[in-house]
Structure 1
Amino acid sequence: MFPTRPRSRSRSKILATTVVCATVGAGLWAATGAASAGTISGTLYRDPDSAVARWVQANPNDSRTTVIRNRVASQPASRWFASFNVSTIRSEVSAYVGAANAAGQIPVLTLYGITNRDCGGASSGGAPDLTQYQTWINGAAQGLGGQTAVVVLEPDSIALLTCLSSSEIAARNQALRTATQTLKAANPNAKVYLDAGHSTWNSAADQASRLAAAGVAAADGFYTNVSNFNGTSAESAYGRSIISALNGQGITGKRQVIDTSRNGGASGDWCGDDNTDRRIGQYPTTNTSDANIDGYLWVKPPGEADGCRYAAGSFQPDLAYSLASSAPDPSTSPSVTPSTASPSPSTSVSPSTSPSTSPSASPSGSPSTGGSCTATFRTTSSWQGGFQGEVTVAAGSGTPNGWAVTWTLASGQSISQVWGGVLSVSGSTVTVRNAAWNGTLPAGGSAQFGLIGSGSAGTPVLTCAKV
């Protein structure tokens, strides 16, 4: 329940990869999106033979089927290639990409076979050594064809390095650089993105340095929030800071994609198997209205387990239904909410007001003004003796130097953890200041931070001030 690990836990993401896809036309279930920003334009590919599509077909009379069909199976999601087999990877990729090409749509592939994958966790596996990994990548590259394809390369491979020695990190970085170059050389129209973790893991400056070392200069950019639950606005702000840091290293023109498959509810806890406060987020689209962001993608297919209650990667209809039950149908919801992002990734490091889904809980507490910002608290989860909350900071006239939110603890209350901000407590007074990457907000911009507390959440009176 508690967000004790600031990581994406992509160990939950192993999927079967040997099914040959059938061709599907751009029909009722196909999501559309001609890009108005970013560098990708077109319709993302919906796999008709995904686990959720097969479940819907096999269970027409289940009470959950309509919701799961309309709000999950109707959407394009990434196909994971996670089984290390050098003799079949080319044909697996070719079949999937070929089906997407025949449908006139853009395939999204997640390649997940790096040596020492997931640092030996629940999704451990991958290539036995980096030489064989390169052979596997060569096969994948040969199956990419020549049309636009989106490649999400090796989740957690850059953000998660704790199990590797310095020499192993250097070898991995070289492997990722070579993999990126191999994929781009095989298909110059492929869009390749590297791992940037998420907004409550490594700092933007640290992550930018890691990306640079892993060869992001040869990639199209980076992805964040894969298998995690952080809100889109926090992820876009984090991405903007990474872009700024990369620009400072002379690496320009890089863009972000964000996994929005499960970020429409509470954030912070890595495992979604036991949580009912999770929701699907922004429906997949390349129409982001943000020049820094190439796509909102469903990288982790909704309804596939994280491994803490069910087998990692297995499709569970109760999880899919829980994620989708309170979401609008795609046909009745706008494809994207325009953001106030800057027109180019090199001109601003300010967080955008990129689209985020409506919270599952109603705001609580009293939004209070101090200086040039306001802060609003909502309870996102509660249990006997504790609660999880989220605070949204709205910039008003802007916070050029940062912001701070202050409130007084109620009797019996304490705050044990904060993400997306820096916590300090003096007596009964709590202050949360901005993190390094989300302090500078433009007029009308916003940022969020989350917290874990003991006692009852109550209705805190928040004071927000620029600093």
Structure 2
Amino acid sequence: MSTGRLHRRRVVAAAAALAAVTFAAGWLVVGSASAGTLSGTLYRDPDSQVVRWVAANPNDSRTAVIRDKVASQSQARWMANFNISTIQSEVSSFVGAANAVNQVPVLTSYAIPNRDCGGASAGGAPDLNQYQQWISGYARGLGNRTVIVIMETDALALQTCLSSGEIQQRGQAISTAVQTLKSANPNAKVYLDGGHSAWNSASEQGNRLIGAGVQYADGFFTNVSNFQPTGNEANYGRSIISYLQSRGINGKHQVIDTSRNGGAAGDWCADDNTDRRIGNYPTLNTGDANIDGYLWIKPPGEADGCAYTAGSFQAGLAYSLASSAPYPPAGSPTPTFSSASPSPSRSSASPSASTSPSASTSPSRSTGGGGGACNAAYQTTSAWQGGFQGNVTVTAGSAAISNWTVTWTLANGQSINQLWNGTLTTSGSNVTVRNMSYNGSLAAGASTQFGFTGNGNASTPTLTCTTS
């Protein structure tokens, strides 16, 4: 995959005034509102650059923060390598892994000719005919379940290097590509480039979206690789939606990249800026009928291309983004929202999040007792028809430990299909999870977490935590 993943941003004054939004420590406070059109658990890529870095650096002082606040989260897989012969298998492999655990994958297409106007992420297909061949292979790999496709970041917001004829040709090419993807998988959710709230005006961006066939897509994305506050982006998105409606295009939704917008806004590059922070953790429960998801499209810690090679993972960047952010709300119940938007058509095999997920409000705990012992606490973090996701927090007792083992018995009809941050062994209904090399040593009172997805109905198991 090309390292030219991330993209230059030109910050200009937004045309529309933005209304005030309530924030707490840079994090959006979601009110009691209906969610967008998507539901389910977002797929966490087990082979991302940050996951590989965590596995290779267990003793780095930054690892725990990067692991727990960045590597633990769903992030988009960038399909940026222009290779017609391999793109179908690349997409199919990623989507298939997500389907196997009944989760929703997020991936990009990033191969438009003259990508990034020859900037830090230059590349893409040599011409539009070959681009359509690449898209056809991409479409064949999408399967038939719900998948989120972020189509060609910067392709519509950044057009300064194109002639008027080339702009029209690009719009037609993206429109054709959207229809190709939707024809191959009607459950694919495809979003086009909406720039961000401090770039083009809503009417200008809306015109560009119309020229690229947004009527065939599910909506648009904003703030990829940028830092504009979520409230600003939501207001900007509403302005674009209103503009599209004025042009007779209805039913479109927004997704917002919140991977780096929890701190300062401003200049496009974060490679050497310590004022950036991760924003809202990825979720499809947005609390806003116009917004289908808060997603981490730009993976935190991957460089922009000003101080480091674009797309390369830099642990210092990831740590700076995550160090002062709150921990993920793994044990928090998912809010219940009324449904004001129609549910999307989807395969019956796709996950369907419960409108009132069974998050455990009184988690199961097990204590080994005495110095050197450990305890384990379980909570269900998400549930859908036929499946659930659980999180276990392992905490050392009054003395440091060098390893831990957690065991429990599965309820009738349950099975585990994916587990992270631990080594899984099952024997019938008996489950054993042992620490990885990087999270076994815990100081007195310190804790770590592992998570898993399972089939069956969620329940609260009785956990046993032991050390040796």
Q: Aligning the two structures, in what range does the TM-score lie when normalised by the shorter sequence?
A: 0.5 to 0.7
Q: 1:335 and 1:295, CA in 2 relative to 1: closer, same or farther beyond 3 A?
A: farther
Partner of 1:285: 283
Residue among 56, 59, 70 paired with 1:58: 56
Change in CA separation of 1:203 and 1:335 when aligned onto 2, cut-off 3 Å? farther
- Tell me the residue number matched to 1:94: 92
- Which residue of the partner structure matches residue 271 of structure 1? 269
Give, in whole Å, the separation in 2 of the partners of 1:38 and 1:167: 36
| Residue in structure 1 matching 2:250, options 252, 256, 281 | 252
Structure 2 counterparts to residues 198-213 of structure 1, below 5 A: 198-213=196-211
Tell me the secondary structure at the aligned position of residue 82 of structure 2: coil
> Quick check: 1:307 aligned with 2:305?
yes
Displacement, 1:334?
5.8
User: What is the Cα-based RMSD across aligned positions, in Å?
Assistant: 2.2
Query: Does 1:71 find its partner at 2:69?
Result: yes
Q: How does 1:242-391 map to 2 (within 5 A)?
A: 242-331=240-329
Q: Among residues 10, 17, 27, which one is paired with 1:5 in the alignment?
A: 10
Cα distance in structure 1, aligned partners of 2:240 and 2:91:
30
Match of 2:461 in 1: none
* Kept in 2: contact 1:113–1:154 (CA 8 A): yes
Q: Which amino acid aligns with 1:196?
A: G
Deviation of the 1:267 alpha carbon: 0.4
Counterpart position of 1:378? none
Separation (CA, whole Å) in 1 of partners of 2:275 and 2:165: 41
Partner of 2:106: 108
Give 2:439's aligned residue.
none
How far 1:303 sits from its partner (Å)? 0.3
Could you give the per-residue CA deviations for residues 160-211 of structure 1, whole angstroms, max 9, x where no partner exists? 1111011101110110000000000000000000001000000001111110
The answer for the alignment partner of 1:192 in structure 2 is 190
Distance 2:336 2:230 in 1: 13
The alpha carbon displacement at 1:58 in A equals 0.7
Normalised by the length of structure 1, the TM-score is 0.65
Separation in 2, partners of 1:253, 1:4:
28
**Contact preservation (8 Å) 2:191, 2:219:** yes
Quickly say closer, same or farther: Cα 1:323–1:335, change in 2 above 3 A. Answer: farther
- Residue 129 of structure 1, CA deviation: 0.3
Letter in 2 for 1:134: Q
Q: Deviations over 1:232-268 (max 9, x none)?
A: 0000000000000000000000000000000000001
| Partner SS state of residue 302, structure 1 | coil
Displacement after TM superposition at 1:102 (Å) = 0.4
Give SS of 1:256's match. Answer: strand
Aligned 8 A contact 1:283 1:335 in 2: no
Aligned to 1:222: 220
> Could you tell me which residue of structure 2 aligns to residue 141 of structure 1?
139
Secondary structure, in 3 states, of the residue corresponding to 2:191?
A: strand
Task: Count the aligned residue pairs.
Answer: 315
**Counterparts of 2:172 and 2:229 in 1: how far apart (Å)?**
32
The change in CA–CA distance for 1:231 and 1:342 in structure 2 (over 3 A counts) is farther
- Once residues 165 and 320 of structure 2 are traced to their aligned partners in structure 1, the CA distance between those partners, rounded to angstroms, is 44
Q: Residues 162 and 336 from structure 1, CA distance in 2 versus in 1: closer, same or farther, beyond 3 angstroms? A: farther
| Amino acid of the structure 2 residue aligned with 1:156 | D
Q: Secondary structure at the match of 2:69?
A: helix
Of 176, 179, 182, 1:178 maps to: 176
- Secondary structure at the residue paired with 1:310? coil
Change over 3 Å in CA distance of 1:335–1:55 after alignment to 2: farther
Distance 1:97 1:309, change over 3 A: same
Unpaired segments ≥5 residues, structure 1: 8-34, 346-467
Q: What CA distance in whole angstroms lies between the structure 2 residues aligned with 1:301 and 1:90?
A: 23
SS at structure 1 position matched to 2:329:
helix
Q: What is the percent sequence identity of the aligned residues?
A: 70
Task: Return the offset for 1:149.
Answer: 0.1
Instruction: Choose from 101, 116, 119 the match for 1:118.
Output: 116
Confirm or deny: 8 A CA contact 1:288 1:336 kept in the other structure: no
2:37 partner SS: coil
Contact 1:108 1:152 in 2 (8 A): yes
Matched letter for residue 321 of structure 2:
L
SS class of match (1:96): helix
Partner of 1:156: 154
Q: Which amino acid aligns with 2:11?
A: P
Is the contact between residue 9 and residue 226 of structure 2 (CA under 8 Å) also seen in structure 1? no
Aligned mates of 1:226, 1:49 — CA distance in 2: 21
What is the Cα deviation at residue 134 of structure 1? Answer: 0.1
Q: Kindly tell me: are residues 164 and 336 of structure 1, through their superposed partners in 2, closer, same or farther at Cα, counting changes over 3 Å?
A: farther
Q: Provide the secondary structure at the position in 2 that maps to 1:157.
A: coil
SS of the residue corresponding to residue 76 of structure 1 reads coil
Three-state SS of the structure 2 residue aligned to 1:54 is: helix
Q: CA deviation at 1:5?
A: 3.0
| Alpha carbons 1:289, 1:336 under 8 Å: kept | no
Picking from 34, 43, 46, the partner of 2:44 is 46
Instruction: Give secondary structure in 2 for the equivalent of 1:331.
Output: coil
Point out where structure 2 has 5 or more consecutive residues left out of the alignment: 1-7, 13-32, 343-468
Aligned residue type for 1:238: Y
Paired letter, 2:55: Q
List structure 1 segments (4+ residues) > 2 angstroms apart after TM superposition. 331-339, 341-345
| Residues 1:104 and 1:134: Cα distance change in structure 2 (over 3 Å) | same
The 8 Å contact of residues 34 and 339 in structure 2, kept in 1 or not, is answered as no
The residue number in structure 2 matching 1:441 is none
Secondary structure of the 1:330 match is coil
Q: Distance in 2 between matches of 1:337 and 1:178?
A: 38
Question: Which amino acid is the alignment partner of residue 182 of structure 1?
Answer: T
User: Quick one: structure 1 residues 64 and 231, their matched pair in 2 at CA, closer, same or farther if it must change by over 3 Å?
Assistant: same
What whole-Å deviation, never above 9, does each CA across 1:333-390 have from its counterpart, x for those lacking one?
8688999x99569xxxxxxxxxxxxxxxxxxxxxxxxxxxxxxxxxxxxxxxxxxxxx
Q: CA deviation at 1:331?
A: 3.3
Matching residue's letter, 2:255? V
2:45 is aligned with what amino acid?
A: D
